[in-house]
Structure 1
Amino acid sequence: MLLFMLIVYGMNLLTLTVFTKQSFQSLNVRTGFFGIINFLQFYLFYIWTVPVFLKSRNWIQFLLRALPVLCGFILLKYLLSVQIFPKIMLYQGYRYDTVSRARIEIYTTFWQFFRDGIWTGLIILLAALALRLFIEWLREDKRRSQLRQQMQQAESGFLKMQLNSHFLINSLNSIYSLALVGSPEVVPANKTLAHLLSYMVDQPNDVDYRSPIRDEINYLCDFIKLQRLRTGCEAGIIANFSNELPDKQIAPMLLVAFVENAFKHGITNQPDHPVRIDLLGDNNVLHFSVFNQRSKYNKDKTGGIGLENVKKRLQLIYPDKHHLTITETPTTYFCNLSINW
């Protein structure tokens, strides 16, 4: 408001056509001194009258607060005009008396001043109401934004928790399969699982959090290693992770669902039908794809929530910044994901 007053003062100064002592004095009194009084009236409306009305929507209470301020400042400005600045604020000119031929000065009467003051006060009141509404809107918008962010974080955490539990069940089943046949790979598999779980636990649920892409690649490599230990077939999985990826970040544990889906529904122990995983990218786009031959025996007993959840996470974390295509045939399954990071 003070900045606005300075702007108004400057604009009135620029409109002066005659630079005299009287014109500068009139500018300082009308725009400067009485401008400060109008600002005090605005501030009182802003902190005392308008907030109560916005909270209660009670018109009677609003009038009981607005009218005393309005009338009180009109009276104050009139008394100052009469006692200190009559020539500047009240003097309108003069007229000649036709009988005595005397020049009679004409001044604004109280009721004329009051009428003009009502309109000025109403404009000030509307300005205070408009500013208060705008600030309340900004606060409400910020609150809604924070609430939306909290909801997104909660939803992201819930979806990731489902993915984690889904992954844990399948990993434990894989290690259990190794233990049943007395495989010596149980111990390495346990260590690999420990690394995977440690990484999972360390990731926050913040929807804005991003993990270094290299950490995600290491996570995927451990996941693939665990699968190879279970199947005992190195050539059943071909992973091609580019060494020329830029130093970028990605939402954690977003890609593993596609790999896990290929392991559950694909053939991972036949070199002639390998699961193929490719990851490459540049400074603008990350490209990730998974291809597998479909197996009619490996079905998801936990309900197939993995891919559905990762689709929801993509919509939540990368809205309008990703493109996912899934191509299915009776014998093959192909996922292709691109993310604009």
Structure 2
Amino acid sequence: MPDARRSFREFAGMLAGWLVLVYSSNLMTVLRFNDQTIRLVHINSAALGLVNFLFFYCCYRWIAIPVLEKRRPLLAGLLVPVLPAFTLLKYGFIHLFFAQDILYRGHQIINGQKVELYTSLGNYFVNGLWSNLVIVVAAFSFCLFRLWLQEEKKRVLLQQQQLQAESGFLKMQLNSHFLINSLNSIYSLALMGSPEVVKANKTLAHLLAYMVDQPSDIAYRAPIREEISYLQDFVTLQRLRTGFNEGIIFHTPDVLPEKNIAPLLLVPFVENAFKHGVSNRPEKAVTITLACNEQQLLFSVHNYVSGQQRDKTGGIGLDNVRKRLQLLYPGRHQLDIRDTGAEYFSNLVINW
């Protein structure tokens, strides 16, 4: 039953499109509108248009689709008997109902009598054969176009799935990188016997909950205020680890637009600054600045480079961010990273 309804909807849609097309083309050829020309338009568009459509649909459904889609080329041989048979059938239909309108060619005086002249079967057969061949070509062309649309849809779907998998893989790498560094920070607090280790664990639990809650859909965007809250929790965790609040400066706007952003996109810049920055000297603080309006987001991170590298787990964070930006904001972002040896600058602009 669902297949029958689908076939009927396809048939009705194609018929409606066909009638609109033939009516439009026939009306464009009318130079003067009167009762006779309007009648001819209706005959050629509605009556003969329906007959031609049935021939088109039969060729499309039972010849073109099996030949092109199901790879059964021998069925194309059906056109040899079908094409002339339909030409004869259409001539009989016209001769029976519309001979005066379609076949009449004037009159001639023979032996003093007025004799009406009509297009002969032979003449109509030759001309009709070519016009019906055009209908066959249209049926095969429509089938090819439909197959191209299906292949294009499959290609786009496959590309989306590939991008989805690649984005998910990149985000997984970033998450694992973040988790290792966060656990290292809490481990450092535990070694020092800091009472802040409990608060750090709670903050980490909030961070992990936010990370887990993000859908894997590449098209998903989180509210910008949620992403800022996540960054603030991340900064809090780092302040607990260092015990030096003045070493981190985080500027955010008081009023935020109702905009969304790809989740977990900004934190690698902050993580990189904490990893390679100083953050325990107020004159060399890590500075994070986020500003956004209805047109774009501006995010910058600046840190002074520490003389020691704190761990060996890095190397993939910012490279993955570049790849994710290409996937998520192609042509709509600018990323500028500068390393002077003593200072490190990361500046990101995203156009919504």
User: What is the TM-score when the length of structure 2 is the normalising length?
Assistant: 0.88
Partner of 2:35: 19
Q: Which amino acid aligns with 1:91?
A: Y
Which residue is 1:228 aligned to? 239
Instruction: Report SS of the residue matched to 1:106.
Output: strand
Which residue in the other structure is 1:153 paired with? Answer: 164
Which residue number in structure 2 is paired with residue 63 of structure 1? 77
Deviation at 1:103, TM superposition (A): 4.5
2:154 aligned with 1:143: yes
Residue of structure 2 aligned with 1:123, choices 128, 134, 138: 134
User: 1:184 and 1:300 mapped to 2: Cα distance?
Assistant: 24
Match of 2:22 in 1: 5
Relative distance call for 1:29 and 1:286 in structure 2 (3 A) is closer
- On the 8 A contact 1:245/1:282 being kept in 2, the answer is yes
Question: Hey, what's the Cα distance between the residues in 2 that align with 1:24 and 1:214?
Answer: 65
Aligned-pair distance for 1:85? 3.3
- Report the equivalent of 2:53: 39
2:84 and 2:211 mapped to 1: Cα distance?
67
Mapped partners of 1:17, 1:340: distance in 2: 55
CA contact (8 A) 1:262 1:275 kept: yes
Partner of 1:169: 180
Matched, 1:312 2:323: yes
The residue identity in structure 2 corresponding to 1:327 is R
**Alignment-derived partner of residue 91 in structure 1:** 104
Q: Deviations over 1:156-202 (max 9, x none)?
A: 11111110000001101111111112111111110000000000000
Q: What is the alpha-carbon distance in structure 2 between the residues aligned to residue 303 and residue 230 of structure 1?
A: 19
Shift in Å, 1:273? 1.1
Superposed structure 1 runs of 4+ greater than 6 Å apart:
none
- The match for 1:193 is 204
Q: CA deviation at 1:232?
A: 1.2
1:138 deviates by: 2.6
Whether 1:244 aligns to 2:255 is yes
Coordinate RMSD, CA, aligned:
2.1
Q: Per the alignment, in what secondary structure is the counterpart of residue 292 of structure 1? A: strand
Are 1:288 and 2:299 an aligned pair?
Answer: yes
Worse-superposed segment, 258-267 or 107-116: 107-116
User: Would the aligned equivalents of 1:9 and 1:32 in 2 still touch at CA under 8 Å?
Assistant: no
Q: In structure 2, give the amino acid aligned to 1:79.
A: G
Question: Does the Cα contact within 8 Å between 1:45 and 1:69 map onto a contact in 2?
Answer: no
Match of 1:203 among 204, 214, 217: 214
Aligned to 2:287: 276
Q: CA deviation at 1:96?
A: 4.3
> Percent sequence identity over matched residues?
52
Gaps of 5+ in 2: 1-17
Deviation of the 1:6 alpha carbon = 3.0
Q: Which amino acid aligns with 2:320?
A: N
User: After alignment, is 145-154 or 251-260 more displaced?
Assistant: 145-154
Amino acid of the structure 2 residue aligned with 1:36: L
Query: Per the alignment, in what secondary structure is the counterpart of residue 330 of structure 1?
Result: coil
CA contact (8 A) 2:334 2:349 kept: yes
Q: Distance in 1 between the 2:216 and 2:34 partners?
A: 68
Please tell me whether the aligned partners of residues 177 and 314 of structure 2 are also in contact (alpha carbons under 8 angstroms): no
- Distance, in Å, in 2 between the alignment partners of 1:24 and 1:247 is 57
Deviations 1:200-248 (A, max 9, x none): 0000111111111111111111111111111111111111112123221
How many residue pairs are counted as aligned between the two chains? 335
Kindly indicate whether the alpha-carbon contact (under 8 Å) linking 1:239 and 1:277 is maintained by their aligned counterparts in 2. Answer: yes
Query: Helix, strand or coil for the counterpart of 2:249?
Result: strand
Aligned 8 A contact 1:273 1:292 in 2: yes
Find the aligned partners of 1:208 and 1:266 in 2 and give their Cα distance: 33
Mean Cα deviation higher: 257-266 or 241-250: 241-250
For residue 128 of structure 1, report the CA deviation from its aligned partner. 2.1
Between 295-304 and 146-155, report the one with greater CA deviation.
Answer: 295-304
Letter in 2 for 1:313: R
SS of 1:272's equivalent?
A: helix
Give, in angstroms, the shift of residue 139 of structure 1.
2.8
Does residue 29 (structure 1) correspond to residue 40 (structure 2)? The answer is: no
Q: Does structure 1 residue 266 correspond to structure 2 residue 266?
A: no
Uncovered stretches (5+) of structure 1, i.e. residues with no partner? none
The amino acid across from 2:19 in the alignment is: L
